[in-house]
Amino acid sequence: MRWLQSPLCAGIFAAPPCRTCSKARNIPLAQGVRKGNFCKLPRPLRSDQFPEGLPGLTTLERIKVSQANKLFDFLATVILNCLEREQIVAVENPRGSFFWKTRFWKTVSQHFRYQAHQACGYGSSRPKWTVIAYNHSAFAKISRTCPGESRAHVHEPWGLVQHGPAQGNFATALETAYPPALALHIAIAFVEAMKHRGWSPGYTPYEPHQLIENSVLLRSITGHQPRASKAPALVPEFASCLMVRSRHPIPAPCPIMTKLTKPWAVPPFAQCALPEVPIHSKLLRATPIRLIGGDGDDYEKDKMLYVFELAWGVPHEPEKFVQEAVTAGHPSQYESFLPKILHQALEAHKALSDAELVKLRLKWVKKWTERSQTLELRASERDLKASLPQHAKTILKDKKIALWKEMLEDLQYEDMGVVDELVEGTKLLGEVPLTNVFPQHFKPAEFSVEDAKQESQTLREVVLKKTRSSGDRDLDAEVFEKTIEEVSKGWLAGPMELSSLPEPSLIGRRFGLKQGPKTRLIDDLTVGGQNGTVQSNESPKPQGPDVIAAILIGLMKVLPGESVEGRAYDLKSAYKQLAICESDLWAAFVSCFNPKTKSPSIFQLKAVPFGATRAVYSFLRVVRSIWYIGVVGLKLPWSCFFDDFVVFSKQGMVKSTDAAVTALFRLIGWKFAEEGEKCQQFSSEVSALGIKVCLKDFSRGKVYFDNTEKRKQDLSDLIQETLKSKNVTQKEGQVLRGKLQFADSQVYGRLSKLCLAEVSKLCASGGKALDGQAEMALKRFLGFLSSGKPRVLSCHTDRPFFLFTDACFEPTSPFWACGLGGVLVNDQGILLEFFSCSLSDEEMKKLGSESKKSIIFEAELLALIVAMYRWSSVLKSASCVCYIDNNAVRDVAISGRARNAAGIHLLERLLQVEMRLGVNAWFCRVASESNIADYPSRNDLRLFNAVRQVEVKPLIRQILKGFG
């Protein structure tokens, strides 16, 4: 029920199981055989007179009916809850199901209208009647019925299935799954209902000034391309959407999601902006609307003119698509994906002189320093601290909460609830408050707080059993010693006896995690049940290397020719600077192994622990407000990754920037490292988050990202240990893969992705002994780690190139069985060069033509590789967008993973040339009809009379050398 309370929950679609409610149980049927065994026919369990269950049922039958009734009762409660929240509700069941007659449904039935349809009208093989009860008229459109049996529409029989893998099963059981067309129309109905209630779908193509938390967009800046399904298209697939509407149902000329092979004339009784739908247009939607009386809904009144609607996606003309692609550019140009406030801070560095920027910062610091010393604010701070619980007074004693609040108000911060969260304390349980500053993402709780209370004794017993020695005496002693130190600092209370704990109470498990020479204390609140109660509607994203890269690209553009330095500021014991909410202290106990007594010792957490799910949300919410003050108030070009703030400054402004950051932290009372190894100085090399950012060539428009030497050494040691042991468990494989993945992201080129693919296989298989391929892959990664080039970011990528490639495979053609085509376009949309050639029989054999029906995948991938090699002189160190009309090739190029031998061989060639050139490639889809390379791939050169053709046959022979 808590899921329904999420602001992201628009409604529900429910299809309660109908096995006990089916009227098919009343249909006489001859005895049959089910999979070779005697088939006992199902008995009726309900009737019109007894919809909640017939008298005289056997014990097993009563249990089945009772379980179903409990579910129906729960569904009625859920529906009433949804109706109270004015959410969308749709419920589906067979038309003759006794479910509709149960008292459970009757308690809510007056809130609904009903629409019936037949499954065969949506592609099923049987004419099953189903009813959908709904509270929004968008679902009234789901009304197709059987068009009548014909050669093209044949029904499968009911009863027992006599043949095939489902032999012996009842046909009704095979009709429970929705046909894809029905599922699509249900989804469309939900979308229309949501739109009618004010929801607006997000803009699909790339758009500037997106939220900084949109990590998919930000990764594009550093050349990291996510899966195609996660990234918005640079150019929409269709030039336009053409609607055909009619008062009379009309048969669609092709199935949904297929394309027209010739223009389709719009019937004279239908309305459309064009007299005919163009060739190659795709039928996106065919929506029949059967009006059954109306319900007074304005939405329905708007649709009264039409009862049938066809939506067509009209493709771009190839020349037009090229221009759209050039306009869209390359994602590395999109440093404007930074939020508007950070973009404005960067612009301030361009607009203001050094003296003006220094003056602005001094004025701001002076204003708030003077304000902090006023009697009024001191009184407010004193009163606020006096209202805090005793443990919070200790932990927050240095915080200037009233001053911080006024700063945020003065700068018009959009999440003032963050102040209440800090004052009231971080909760460990329950729903995370909605802030509207992080991207929306619903993550449901596993169980409720009440459930955790009821099971608290069992959960405590589990934790105490798991609290045992790590097997390392020194580690056990260090963890316990640090725990006692935390008691002295007021972060913990204890140790205490188990019998002294309140009832209920929850206990987490404390253990130590070795991180190089240091040991981090982890408080596992998952095993204790606390984390399972957490429900969130947002997903805060710390600002990692991608944000740092975006800031640097922006700075290179606003400070051309300047020298820049950077520094990381590290908050001291960051989580411990926040207090736990007093109301959740009953769930804030931890059990730590005591090496002296050889048994668990129990402590109570007072400060926020590392290992609590809610702590992450709370901490990121608070530090984001600090980051905001720095950006807006002091014009700091900085990022915030958990407790690490990374800031950049012109060499001549380093003192001003350092003074501004230091003043901000001290004014609001946040402790940061001012000495020791974590206290860095401004430098042309910045180390943070396990990466090293080299700024020595910043003035020449280049920045280098690499792994730190420590990370390289740690990862090298881990790989060496793995190679020595020859075995990897699934958990070890996942840890290794994660570390390899992070390190790989900082090494230029993606050839090492082939190594990652082998490690991923080990993880997927559940862990096993290393085979030859995995061993070779790990050794190869070691080589990349030590010799791989750093990732290069450049501001000189505003003029990208565009590659369009294609292939055709028509094996019956005597002269052009397999053709390749490629076109090179510059940033002005000018076609510079193209190639057009046909593969020989021998070359096709190397791609697998003798063992496969089609080699179109291999040919399309080869065309892309040929283009990269042929135009390597202009692509070197440049940005390039590659448009491909084969989804499999695009996905393989993005992921760096292929399955068959030819694909793996070709992919290695692609990644080799990409790495050698230092090209920042981005792979996109273009529809075949819009792909200008389709013409040369078929030897159709009519658009290329004024374009230079280049020879590629020797290059193809070189690429395919060693195949077969």
Q: What is the DSSP letter of 607?
A: B
Q: Where are the beta strands (DSSP E) in 543-696?
A: 564-570, 589-594, 599-605, 638-641, 644-650, 685-688, 691-694
* CA–CA–CA angle 33, 39, 42 (5° rounding): 140
Residue 735 has a pLDDT of 77
In the β-sheet with 685-688, what is the strand arrangement from edge to edge? 685-688, 691-694, 702-707, 791-794
Candidates 639, 661, 695, 703; CA nearest to 341 is: 639
104-107 own/partner pairs: CB under 8 Å, 24+ apart:
104/69, 104/72, 104/73, 104/75, 104/76, 105/72, 105/76, 107/76, 107/80
Mean pLDDT, the chain, integer: 86
Q: Is 709 exposed, middle or buried (0-12, 13-18, 19+ CB in 10 A)?
A: exposed
* CA–CA–CA angle 391, 394, 395 (5° rounding): 90
pLDDT confidence bin for 174, thresholds 50/70/90: low
**Cβ(124)–Cβ(175) below 8 Å:** yes
* CA–CA–CA angle 225, 442, 741 (5° rounding): 30
Residue 196's alpha-carbon distances to 6, 183, 303, 407, 795, in angstroms, are 20, 20, 12, 40, 44
* Residue length of the chain: 964
Cis peptide before 255 (omega within 30 of 0): no
Helices (H) and strands (E) counted in the chain, each on its own, are 30, 34
Lookup: tokens for 405: 């609040």
pLDDT confidence bin for 439, thresholds 50/70/90: confident
Angstrom distance (rounded) from CA 395 to CA 384:
14
pLDDT single digits (tens) 474-496: 999 999 999 999 999 999 999 99
Residue 744 has a pLDDT of 60
pLDDT single digits (tens) 721-766: 888 888 777 777 777 777 777 666 555 556 566 677 777 777 666 6
pLDDT single digits (tens) 868-882: 999 998 988 788 999
State the average pLDDT over residues 917-929. Answer: 88
State the average pLDDT over residues 220-226. Answer: 59
- Please tell me which residue, 940 or 225, carries the higher pLDDT value: 940
Backbone dihedral angles phi then psi of residue 585, each to the nearest 5 degrees: -65, -25
Q: Which of 409-423, 537-551, 816-830 has the lowest mean pLDDT?
A: 537-551
Lookup: tokens for 420: 């209440």
Q: What is the DSSP letter of 43?
A: P
SS3 state at 92? strand
Candidates 793, 789, 723; CA nearest to 752 is: 789
Angstrom distance (rounded) from CA 508 to CA 964:
58
- For tokens 């607009």, the residue is 351
DSSP string of 232-261, one letter each residue? PPSS-SEEEEEEEEESS----SS-TT-B-S
**Cβ(343)–Cβ(223) below 8 Å:** no
Amino acid identity at 319: E
CA 763, 768, 769, 772: dihedral to nearest 10 degrees? -50
Radius of gyration of the chain (CA): 33
Residue 211 has pLDDT above 80, yes or no: no
Cis peptide before 504 (omega within 30 of 0): yes
- For tokens 């010693």, the residue is 481
User: Residues 6 or more apart from 718 whose CB is under 8 A from it?
Assistant: 736, 739
Candidates 92, 86, 89; CA nearest to 112 is: 89
Residue 285's alpha-carbon distances to 45, 99, 181, 470, in angstroms, are 41, 32, 10, 60
Angstrom distance (rounded) from CA 690 to CA 523:
23
Lookup: tokens for 584: 């959740």
Beta strand pairing status for 879-884 and 801-809?
Answer: parallel
**Cβ(914)–Cβ(750) below 8 Å:** yes
SS3 state at 722? helix
User: Residues 6 or more apart from 763 whose CB is under 8 A from it?
Assistant: 730, 733, 734, 737
pLDDT confidence bin for 921, thresholds 50/70/90: confident
Beta strand pairing status for 37-38 and 11-14?
Answer: unpaired
Residue 345 has pLDDT above 90, yes or no: yes
**Cβ(590)–Cβ(677) below 8 Å:** no
pLDDT single digits (tens) 376-406: 999 999 999 999 999 999 999 999 999 999 9
Angstrom distance (rounded) from CA 751 to CA 787:
13
**Cβ(45)–Cβ(60) below 8 Å:** no
Helix axes 901-917, 887-895, angle to 10 degrees: 60
- Please tell me which residue, 902 or 634, carries the higher pLDDT value: 634
Candidates 740, 790, 617; CA nearest to 222 is: 790
Residue 869's alpha-carbon distances to 635, 952, 963, in angstroms, are 44, 9, 18
Residue 723 has a pLDDT of 85
State the average pLDDT over residues 810-815. Answer: 90
pLDDT confidence bin for 302, thresholds 50/70/90: very low
State the average pLDDT over residues 836-847. Answer: 94
Angstrom distance (rounded) from CA 98 to CA 106:
12
Q: What is the DSSP letter of 550?
A: H
Residue 780 has a pLDDT of 76
Angstrom distance (rounded) from CA 75 to CA 16:
8
pLDDT confidence bin for 941, thresholds 50/70/90: very high
Candidates 730, 786, 787, 785; CA nearest to 759 is: 730
Residue 466 has pLDDT above 90, yes or no: yes
**Cβ(656)–Cβ(675) below 8 Å:** no
Residue 165 has a pLDDT of 56
- For tokens 């929850």, the residue is 506
